[in-house]
Amino acid sequence: MGMELMDVNEGIERNAGPVAGIVCEHDRKKALLIPALHSIQEDKGYLPGEELQTLSEKLNLPLAEIYSVASFYGQFHFSPRGKKIVRVCLGTACHVRGASSVLNGIKDRFGVGVGETTEDLKLTLETVGCVGCCGLAPVATVNEDIIGEVGPDKLDELIQSIEEEE
């Protein structure tokens, strides 16, 4: 997992200074929770239940509290995600210029809904409110790559690039 609990007090005191003396041990352990969740997700790609159970035991925090924190933040995921995270922008400019056909084309081709992952873990489909490239509408992203002006021809290219193994 990468997080060493032996350094909890030292790390808190180093980062919190004189406040560290009034922070109770429970709060010190809670301070490690989000970095530990990031570490697990970076290692596994998501937050497996058994890893969260182990974390609960190591930090002596209730498992329900860990799930409560992890589910609050949108960047944490409880199931495996696809190798390619495809996000279709549904902002106003993209919506007006046909984002729904882009979204439906991907949904139909891969048989997934928004927020779902293909069984072969090739693709996870998401929507976003705005990518910030409104002049290129409609826009989709594949991992960190931005694809603009996704009309019917570009949609076919986009689907083909998703299907290609890297």
Domain-located, residue 79: no
Q: Which residues in 32-156 belong to E strands, given as ranges?
A: 84-89, 123-128, 140-142, 145-147
Domain edge (last residue) among 23, 43, 72: 72
For 108, phi then psi, to 5°, come to -65, -45
Domain-located, residue 77: no
Residues 97 and 134 in one domain: yes
* Cα dihedral 115, 120, 121, 125 sign: negative
**Mean pLDDT, the chain cut into blocks of 10 residues (166 residues total):** 51 58 60 90 93 92 93 92 94 95 95 94 94 94 93 89 76
The CATH number assigned to the domain holding 140 equals: 3.40.30.10
Domain-located, residue 134: yes
Neighbours of 55 (CB within 10 A): 22
Q: Quote the crossing angle between the two packed helices 63-72 and 33-44, to the nearest 10°.
A: 70
Domain edge (last residue) among 15, 37, 72: 72
Give me the number of domains the chain comprises: 2
Domain that residue 155 falls in: 84-163
Q: Which residues of 118-133 are buried (b: 16+ CB within 10 A; e: fewer)?
A: beeebbbbebeeebeb
Whole-model pTM: value is 0.72
Residues 91 and 146 in one domain: yes
